Structure 1
């Protein structure tokens, strides 16, 4: 090949690459509203795929019918109960946001004596006395802001009903085809990634394993801890027990922090309102019962599938929620896990190159 031919080939490749990037960027801009929905369809399809394969066997290879049956079952078993729970949580969130501010206004001007109601057994009760008004205000502000945030979020969802319906339709429609053509499509797409087959499979396995670990944390550990904390709040007479239990479910993806984020402020509230016995009881319940789920059940149910430090899981979860909303609970840790995996591949490739150069 002459120098002119090499130059033409180089320019041709550069032009094709530039054209590809331009068209891809334009296409992503067109569908950006539905990227998250499509990603969710991929995640849920991967999680339900074992069920789909079993249904295909039962129906002797009728893939389209099997896809419809799995989708209908998923909607009936998960979708409809979730919508019902969302309505209850919305009502309690609105009620909490409306109740907190009057409570703060009543307590602070009355010079409420925090040291009077804090049990002597609690550490640093005397040291907390100078900050009593600030503690009460912050606890109430946290509860109010949380309720107000969720109420506004749910309100936005209900106001954008048409948009939500369209996105749900796209997700279900995409899942229908992903069940049927997913493996072939994935194999074709993976060929465009300039990595070895081993590295491609590693990235795919990490993404799926992390998603499974997060969903197990939410659906099993989170639901169990949410029920336990919700029951404790209901027994102690704290309003919005279902709401606070749902918050525990949301934060359960973070090991060791999900439930305490909610029940510890509950203990402070009970102590501050003079319910010392309930405060001590909830402390024991939170440590001995709710904590047992994290310490005993989580390692067996979730295992080490996520393979990430707890701090990274926490940052990825909170960052994901801020960027993507509620679905960021899943997307944030998955992206973090993929980043860790790609960094490992990067280190391996450049270590090999460095070793070769020496």
Structure 2
């Protein structure tokens, strides 16, 4: 009796201490998450370098981290800086009246009365829609301008988070295998199940981050290129917006190029509008339809509809981190049920 009481009390204290430690790390969850994601994605590179260097883990981890910075971190920082800068300029144009979102919506409404009738039948008032679009555009551009100022004022905090992420990624790359073995030994789920779940976690993280980022970069680059080629304003801004929106499967970049095409039709720019529609549907859309199933759905072994709903749910609940965490939760859900059916329902 005494032994059982001591064991239960120890387990209770173990849970409480673990929760307290998790709460202590709460300010750094973003850094920890992306350090783990970087480790999972670049771990094959780390193993390859480790074999080439004859077993020098420190140097292999450092070179892997440098490759990560050159391939991912620095390009993302450069694109984000250009995006914020153009967003701030866009906000200034709205403030000066050079750009009018309400006039944009009004042009589309007058040029395509069928769309207005359809929206009215669906119970959507176009006047309210115009005000909402105008308010959303102003608010988004104001947010970008504020974010640019905030980053400038909090440069130290941003650099600190980035350094912490890279610092942790270095140790995870160097000692990741030992940490996984330690967790397999500690968790009471059964070694075979734990290895299956860890493999699924790595598989989904690698496929989701790699796949979604590749699709986002390709669609954003294609969208920004056609905006630049057609001499449309702020190609970098809209290219990055299309890249972010491409995280939403099925719709994505069309939320930008389709309304712009309708506006160009409404203003009489038929040739430019037709080129943009054809390019958006055949090139940008085709990139999504080909690359996403190959890079995300195939590697995660998740159906396309499950990838869509888990991504949307993750983004709505967890922000930008949700585009990885959402499919990961869905994959672990399927893995747990697969284990249950195989072992308990044989």
Answer whether TM exceeds 0.5 for this pair.
yes
Q: Aligned to 1:258, what secondary structure does the other structure show?
A: coil
Question: How many Å apart are 1:141 and its aligned residue?
Answer: 4.1
Q: Which among 242, 245, 251 is matched to residue 248 of structure 1?
A: 242
Q: Superposition RMSD on alpha carbons, in Å?
A: 3.1
1:114-129 residue pairs with structure 2 within 5 A?
A: 114=108, 117-118=111-112, 124=114, 127=117
Q: Which among 184, 193, 200 is matched to residue 178 of structure 2?
A: 184
Distance 1:59 1:203, change over 3 A: same
Would you say the 8 A contact 1:45–1:179 is kept in 2? yes
Q: Aligned to 2:163, what secondary structure does the other structure show?
A: helix
Question: How many Å apart are 1:189 and its aligned residue?
Answer: 0.7
Q: Deviations over 1:237-283 (max 9, x none)?
A: 43222122112222333332222222222223323444333222221
TM-score by length of 2: 0.84
Question: How many Å apart are 1:349 and its aligned residue?
Answer: 5.3
In the alignment, structure 1 residue 174 sits paired with structure 2 residue 158: no
Question: How many Å apart are 1:182 and its aligned residue?
Answer: 1.0
Question: How many Å apart are 1:20 and its aligned residue?
Answer: 0.6
- Aligned match of 2:103: 107
Q: Which among 2, 8, 33 is matched to residue 27 of structure 2?
A: 33
Within 2, Cα distance between the matches of 1:331 and 1:160? 27
Within 2, Cα distance between the matches of 1:58 and 1:322? 43
Question: How many Å apart are 1:139 and its aligned residue?
Answer: 4.3
Greater Cα offset, 157-166 or 64-73: 157-166
Q: Deviations over 1:222-241 (max 9, x none)?
A: 21111111122233443222
Larger Rg: 1
Q: How many residues align?
A: 340
Would you say the 8 A contact 1:117–1:274 is kept in 2? no
Greater Cα offset, 77-86 or 281-290: 77-86
- Aligned match of 1:345: 339
Question: How many Å apart are 1:100 and its aligned residue?
Answer: 4.2
Q: Deviations over 1:90-131 (max 9, x none)?
A: 0112223343463448739xx95656544xxxx935736986
In the alignment, structure 1 residue 68 sits paired with structure 2 residue 62: yes
TM-score by length of 1: 0.82
Distance 1:40 1:321, change over 3 A: same
- Aligned match of 1:231: 225
Question: How many Å apart are 1:137 and its aligned residue?
Answer: 4.2
- Aligned match of 2:87: 93
Distance 1:283 1:181, change over 3 A: same
Q: Which among 278, 283, 292 is matched to residue 289 of structure 1?
A: 283
Q: Deviations over 1:65-110 (max 9, x none)?
A: 12112212322333222222111100112223343463448739xx
Within 2, Cα distance between the matches of 1:77 and 1:302? 20
Q: Which among 37, 62, 73 is matched to residue 79 of structure 1?
A: 73
Q: 5+ residue gaps in structure 2?
A: none
Distance 1:317 1:155, change over 3 A: farther
Would you say the 8 A contact 1:100–1:140 is kept in 2? no
Greater Cα offset, 225-234 or 294-303: 294-303
Distance 1:168 1:276, change over 3 A: same
In the alignment, structure 1 residue 21 sits paired with structure 2 residue 24: no
Q: 5+ residue gaps in structure 1?
A: 1-6, 353-358
Greater Cα offset, 133-142 or 70-79: 133-142
Within 1, Cα distance between the matches of 2:133 and 2:265? 12
